[in-house]
Structure 1
């Protein structure tokens, strides 16, 4: 495979060989259902995911948290299976099954031996198409989700992350917590979640991806059979839902500084700016930039703040991206008395990328790190399955390991310096949780990150 493979929504069949001689095939049914597989030579297991391109950002004000609520409910039983039946189906074969709700999609997935893939196809299809959303189970699960939110609120790193997203992204839907809040979960009704389910879980919304030991033709036949059992009309033609566009919508910062007082031993600090979208052509450059700044034990942040000064145990940078926006953040956990010093050091290293660029040795090391990490990750069928899903739902193209490494190899010191300059010129936000004096951040969050 040379270069990325485009995934047009109006192309019914597509097949190509990716790096490592894996065979990728894609079928778009007339109903709009998309089925992608990656056959990995020698694999004896497979990971399957049923994806719907609906996440927390798509909720209405009266249904905040309903996407995650619905994810829980689809495990609670269908017209033909109880919640115990679903659990037993996977436990009895030593499989793993779960789900994840994200800001732009929801995925129900399982990992099983090759001989059990047909079972996984059928059971997850039943869950996704035929859940009854029993009213009594709904109220029981409301309590479970409230406990989950309480658990997250007891974790200072989770609280810092949520406040950071809100501070950077403001009123943008991507800034909202995925799980909603205790208030919205208490308020949401079963009928509202049911309406959300029926409106968004349709044939044209569904993407199914499988990686590992998979025969594509058998997979397609199994999916069609499972969906027909649920009385889904697969004969009526419909186009797959369009992918989200990178609209370039202006994002207004929510707050320069958010401090949540908690009587804990460490201060948890996140500082950063608006990043770039997943489809931005500079994504490879940002990946390398992130690696150099805070992506490993040899990174600038780790060496300066932990190894040289001993001010933190955990310090790193990260760069989540979505269809039309992204963030770039730097995290550290440190003594409350050191929070000002650590924040200044983090910001100083961030600025240093724009002011002084990176060395050839740093670039070489980052390229090697990313190449090795990417190759190792693809030893797991979970990663390959997720890559197929993100390719189909968000990117509109499939990028294999060889193409990903080629793009990383094209990154230059000048490109890193230019992108760093753009990032540090954006408005800075800081979120902190702990016994923190707000005065420790004086001057840091009052202006763009580039300001001295």
Structure 2
């Protein structure tokens, strides 16, 4: 059987996939809350809570948490996104019980006391400063803020210096109590363990968890078509040009991924070959398409010298226009399909990937597609599909741009963008 699912009476969902040919197990606890669920004044609190769950419980110190998994060669980590938070571990199958014990201890018994909250505040503020010193990463947050101006999806996951500085341990406890509720929890397990073993181990721990059922009200963002230009003494200009994309529930997302692969998804992509290999204008250039519950985002990133910006922008828009008018060639289409299928199937050699697919698919789709089903969806993409979807995504009226560089003003950049969009 591909995977199995159990829903406890309180709403906690348990999914597992047995992979008998490995000796490992990956366990993930997914919470259906992220930076999108925060207000202006609580921006960054989901990420802050993620940090705090590693700071010790009433049963273990932070050092003991690390030592217990290190002692058996296990891995323990977590991450926060715009729409969910995940705590996960990977261990040998014989240590599955230990992984469950530690992760659930962190989830239910973390101290989150005043002293630790204040100490970790400095760590996160330093993380924000580090991020400010990485313009190649910062520009993507600027782009999201530009295209989704005023919407929670446009805010940085990490929060701001002002919001993080204001948080108290009562704020964190209150947010966690409101959002870490049974109906928002998904546990996914993949590896050399049976579904019966998973359910028998997890049910006694989660069945008595209580909390109000939360009806998530998501306001779909409206997009802006703007330029966000930031002056910073950098050696390179870092820029992102893009537009709204497709949600994970939209079947066009598969066509968008094929287009993205051809346009800027690797060393053989059009943008890489034309702008870097043929012209030598950039070191890094790529495109991406990210999907969320009810929307998506498409972007093209380039890092390059200031004097090459105008030419690079012209070449990017030329490639977008070409796909809109002509689509892609049959050879490109087949190569992109094979690349995406290869990436998918090779990734499934990892139990972490299996675990992640179970968790994310349940959160977003309430179902998990078999790899063969995804391959079938990719195989159905036609050249005509790429023209149709490219005209939806690459609508110049919807394009926004974010850029960081050593500008005196942004007049020339704005003129270039308006000229190319026109």
TMscore range, shorter length: over 0.9
Quick one: which of 392, 402, 407 aligns to 1:431? 402
Are positions 1:388 and 2:363 aligned together? no
The question of whether the paired residues in 2 share the 8 Å contact of 1:68 and 1:178 is answered with: yes
Are positions 1:347 and 2:320 aligned together? no
Q: Secondary structure at the match of 1:398?
A: coil
The question of whether the paired residues in 1 share the 8 Å contact of 2:117 and 2:168 is answered with: no
The separation in 2 between residues aligned to 1:61 and 1:386, in whole angstroms, is 29
Range that drifts further, 419-428 or 378-387 = 419-428
The question of whether the paired residues in 1 share the 8 Å contact of 2:37 and 2:152 is answered with: yes
Count of residues in Structure 1 that have an aligned counterpart in Structure 2: 420
What is aligned with 2:195? 216
Q: Secondary structure at the match of 2:290?
A: coil
The question of whether the paired residues in 2 share the 8 Å contact of 1:48 and 1:385 is answered with: yes
The separation in 1 between residues aligned to 2:270 and 2:132, in whole angstroms, is 31
What is aligned with 1:441? 413
**How many angstroms does 1:222 deviate by?**
1.4
Q: Residues 399 and 243 from structure 1, CA distance in 2 versus in 1: closer, same or farther, beyond 3 angstroms?
A: farther
**How many angstroms does 1:43 deviate by?**
1.0
Q: Secondary structure at the match of 1:397?
A: coil
The separation in 1 between residues aligned to 2:236 and 2:328, in whole angstroms, is 31
Are positions 1:272 and 2:242 aligned together? yes
Structure with the larger helix share: 2
The separation in 2 between residues aligned to 1:157 and 1:39, in whole angstroms, is 39
What is aligned with 1:34? 13
The ranges of structure 1 where at least 4 consecutive aligned residues each deviate by more than 3 angstroms after the TM superposition are 238-245, 442-447
Are positions 1:192 and 2:171 aligned together? yes
Q: Secondary structure at the match of 2:291?
A: coil
Q: Secondary structure at the match of 1:233?
A: coil
The TM-score normalised by the length of structure 2 is 0.95
**How many angstroms does 1:115 deviate by?**
0.9
Aligned CA RMSD, in angstroms, stands at 1.8
What is aligned with 1:368? 338
The separation in 2 between residues aligned to 1:291 and 1:226, in whole angstroms, is 43
The separation in 2 between residues aligned to 1:427 and 1:348, in whole angstroms, is 16
The superposition leaves residues 57-76 of structure 1 with CA deviations (integer Å, 9 ceiling, x where unpaired) of 10123211110000000111
The separation in 2 between residues aligned to 1:444 and 1:402, in whole angstroms, is 44
The question of whether the paired residues in 1 share the 8 Å contact of 2:310 and 2:416 is answered with: no
Quick one: which of 400, 422, 431 aligns to 2:392? 422
Are positions 1:258 and 2:233 aligned together? no
**How many angstroms does 1:439 deviate by?**
3.6
Quick one: which of 83, 104, 123 aligns to 1:104? 83
The separation in 2 between residues aligned to 1:202 and 1:233, in whole angstroms, is 11
The separation in 2 between residues aligned to 1:210 and 1:441, in whole angstroms, is 49
Q: Secondary structure at the match of 2:287?
A: strand
The question of whether the paired residues in 2 share the 8 Å contact of 1:320 and 1:327 is answered with: yes
Q: Secondary structure at the match of 2:86?
A: strand
Q: Residues 445 and 188 from structure 1, CA distance in 2 versus in 1: closer, same or farther, beyond 3 angstroms?
A: farther
The TM-score normalised by the length of structure 1 is 0.89
Q: Residues 211 and 169 from structure 1, CA distance in 2 versus in 1: closer, same or farther, beyond 3 angstroms?
A: same
Range that drifts further, 322-331 or 434-443 = 434-443
- In the TM superposition, 1:273-352 aligns within 5 A as 273-352=243-322
Q: Residues 318 and 133 from structure 1, CA distance in 2 versus in 1: closer, same or farther, beyond 3 angstroms?
A: same
Q: Which runs of 5+ in 2 are unaligned?
A: none
Range that drifts further, 91-100 or 432-441 = 432-441
The question of whether the paired residues in 1 share the 8 Å contact of 2:285 and 2:301 is answered with: yes
